[in-house]
Structure 1
Amino acid sequence: MLNRLIRINIRAIQHAGARMAVIVSSLAEGKRTVTAAGARNAAFDRMRTFIILLVLIHHSVIPYTYYGQTDRQWFLFFDAVVTFNDSFFMAAMFLLSGLFTWPSLQRKGVATFLRGRWLRLGLPFAFGAVCLMPLAYYAVELRHSGSGAGFIAFWWKTVTVGPWESGPIWFLGVLLAFDMLAAVVYLVAPGSVEAIGHVATAKLENPAYAFCMFLAASLVVYMPLDHHFGIAQWFTLGPLAVQSDRILLYLLYFFVGVGIGAVHADSSLLSPGGELARRWPLWLAATIVTYAGLIGLIYYKREFLPDPNNPPQGWDNVHAFFFASFSAAQTINLLALFLKFENSGSSILDRLRESSFGIFLIHYVPVLWLQYALFGITLAPNSQATAILKALIVFVLALASSWLATLALRRIPGIKHVL
């Protein structure tokens, strides 16, 4: 399936004759996904924007879930939403971000490529870590301990003592590290990446073959680390952070994308009529089955295990299997669906496309402050209705405010090249 995925993206790239913007990386570049002729690739533009909206939804509902609950109200369905998002969307973002790394390295050279990455990933990450994330997390500090010594003291403690929370922008720091690693591989062992691409695109007529290989690789890199670290541990170094059990999974997805972009072969799989898009019901079915397995495991843990917060190793191993399986299935499923159904005409997602990276970078500030303002307030006769209303208010206002802020910032000379 990865094979298909790979071919698919290669087709869009080759057919267009130019590099399409990386899905989230390209977000960071503030560039449009275009072909050489200047025509927009609607499927990838819209998929990029859709993932950003999932990020906003994810952060808007977390306080109103069973395990993430920080408010008095919660809604069980939000747990299903968080499980769905958390189990695939960051891995999918890394794969999509890797797709056009190799063509960019070939076209620009290592030095120019890295300068561009530091400008469009490193600079937003630094600004977010130093300014935006402390501002966002100050709302959490106020909820926990009141005004305390004030924001300046909180900021100084954050950057000198810690913890230095990076929120969702951890992705930018890890992606930048992966891009630098790709540049090193490009210099010393380019054939290794191209070999990945050739394996992934070996059977274009049979996307299930590529999917099985993709799934097997995902299980191999994820399950041992999950067994060792568990599912909740993060590796942190200052504002740099990544889930300890997922670091190799993210690296795999990224280099699978890089490998796909490195192979200049027939890429019919990337077209709306390609095999990957044509067989979307298969990927959808795989997504439903694996997601049902995840939900069933979570239900079993809550209802039948004596200590849900400390499940046995057997449960964790089965959960790791379904997690990696769902991540692979949904990544392919989402790609196929957008290629099949969101590749032409107009879409409501088009309105957000130019601002999507800015929204991703900024949204966590209004999200946390809105959740702080709504904390403890009852908006409806029952807990579930209140949780739904709060999440809806947070999502709508956070989207609107981060969107408007991005539009304003993009009017500043030079900022548009970053956002």
Structure 2
Amino acid sequence: VAVVRPALRSAKAGAKERNGGIDALRAAVTLLLVFHHSAITYGAIGGWYYKEIAPSISLSGVLLILFCTVNQAWFMGLFFLLSGYFTPPAFDRHGAAGFVRERVIRLGIPLLVYFLLLYPLTEALAQTAKGRSFISVFVYQWMHARFEPGPLWFAEALLIFAAVWLVWRLLRKSAPAADRTLFPSNAALLGAVLLTGLAAFLLRLVWPVGVNVGFLQLGYFASYIALFAAGCAAASGKWLERIPAPSKRLWLKVAWIACPILPLAGLVDLRFHVFPGPSEGGLNPQAVLYAFWEPFVALGFILGLLAFFQRRFAVLNRFWASLARRAFLIYIIHPPVLVGVAIAWRDVAAPALLKFLLTGSVACALCYLVAGVLLRVPAIARIV
């Protein structure tokens, strides 16, 4: 999404800087994000504008909750990793002033548009399901300055991360030499995973998952910060493009083994109450397990997907190239599109899983088409 827009636009500096696999992965995970929010609409846990079915322990509810829980462990972290990976090259191309200008344009303007237009529009659309007037709700949002970034919290976070990185880079005064050292050892990766889990646990003692500070859920930011920093460190040596097959296999296996541990612990606790306390944060076994479970799952899935997509999509066909070009815009516009699709057939009785799949699929298709139309506007094309 916003994460690799600079990379795609880096064609100005030479097509060799493009990476078809990373472009395709970014596009695919953007569509996964649409399905993630569709899952929340129909029974998963999470914040969203319109929820048609409340979370429950029904089969569909459990499956959708599991789907979103696993997604949350890695997919936004992947975006931060890729964003960090393309941050140093963007600075090298543009210089300090150009780097700031690019970030403000490509992240700040979409963030402002979402605040002032897409958030009140989506909220007003969602309220029509409760019989309220679209126009009256939209006007109310404006009159009372009820603005939020929605999914564009990601752009907000990237602006903060980019500013911190820029200060560090300027204080360093000289660019780091190209790092051609080997990909980090498994021992180093294990240490990073454990430190990230510990940091997440400590952060959630103060800001449990679900608590917003300046529109940011800081309880998730241990992994986001770690992965953004890792991306920056990996850039000079192009580590993400040189993932050793043994490391990928090992950590992907670890991720698959770890994946069922958290839901199994939740099921055991429901039956026997042996893991007291909320997993969102606190001094309790569930919070410890959740904090350390996430980075183990994230590392394996991220390495596995990066390796797979770069092997499978070294060269993009027309569809994938088009999808990659539209991905950031799909990310920006998907909330009102998804909410609109869900509301359009809210009175149709159908199983939750079927609604989840159909609503997500139709929303993805519509977002793809709308993004294509919007990119024909030169001003929009220059920004995204």
Sort the TM-score into its range (normalised by shorter chain): 0.7 to 0.9
CA drift at 1:71: 2.5
Query: Is the 1:71–1:376 Cα contact (8 Å) retained in structure 2?
Result: no
Q: Who is 2:371 aligned against?
A: 406
- Assess, with a 3 A threshold, how the Cα gap between structure 1 residues 43 and 136 changes in structure 2: closer, same or farther: same
* Cα deviations by residue, 1:359-409 (Å, 9 ceiling, x for unpaired): 111011111122233335313xxxxxx212212232122112222221111
List aligned pairs for 1:116-155, cutoff 5 A: 116-144=102-130, 146-147=132-133, 150-155=136-141
C-alpha distance in structure 1 between counterparts of 2:352 and 2:39, whole Å? 8
C-alpha distance in structure 1 between counterparts of 2:349 and 2:126, whole Å? 19
One of 210, 213, 220 as aligned partner of 1:246: 220
Helix, strand or coil at the partner of 2:259: helix
Q: Who is 2:342 aligned against?
A: 371
Q: Larger relative CO (CA 8 A, sep 6+): 1 or 2?
A: 1
Amino acid at match of 2:200: Y
Q: Does 1:95 align with 2:67?
A: no
Report percent identity of matched pairs: 24
One of 356, 368, 373 as aligned partner of 1:391: 356
Which sections of structure 1, spanning at least 5 residues, go unmatched? 1-22, 380-385
List aligned pairs for 1:17-416, cutoff 5 A: 24-27=2-5, 31=9, 36-38=14-16, 40-67=18-45, 70-72=51-53, 75=60, 76-144=62-130, 146-147=132-133, 150-157=136-143, 159=145, 162=146, 164-189=147-172, 194=176, 202-204=181-183, 207-236=185-214, 241-261=215-235, 263=236, 265=237, 267=238, 269-271=239-241, 274-277=242-245, 279-305=247-273, 310=278, 313-344=284-315, 346=317, 349-379=320-350, 386-416=351-381
CA drift at 1:97: 0.3
Mean Cα displacement is larger for which, 296-305 or 45-54?
296-305
How many residue pairs are counted as aligned between the two chains?
373
Helix, strand or coil at the partner of 1:242: coil
C-alpha distance in structure 1 between counterparts of 2:84 and 2:32, whole Å? 20
C-alpha distance in structure 2 between counterparts of 1:251 and 1:158, whole Å? 33
Mean Cα displacement is larger for which, 86-95 or 367-376?
367-376
- Assess, with a 3 A threshold, how the Cα gap between structure 1 residues 270 and 306 changes in structure 2: closer, same or farther: closer
Mean Cα displacement is larger for which, 328-337 or 296-305?
296-305
Mean Cα displacement is larger for which, 47-56 or 340-349?
340-349
Helix, strand or coil at the partner of 1:375: coil
Which sections of structure 2, spanning at least 5 residues, go unmatched? none
CA drift at 1:173: 1.1
C-alpha distance in structure 1 between counterparts of 2:128 and 2:246, whole Å? 51
CA drift at 1:127: 0.5
TM-score between both structures, scaled by the size of structure 1: 0.79
Mean Cα displacement is larger for which, 313-322 or 345-354?
345-354
CA drift at 1:346: 4.3
Query: Is the 2:11–2:18 Cα contact (8 Å) retained in structure 1?
Result: yes
TM-score between both structures, scaled by the size of structure 2: 0.85
Mean Cα displacement is larger for which, 112-121 or 145-154?
145-154
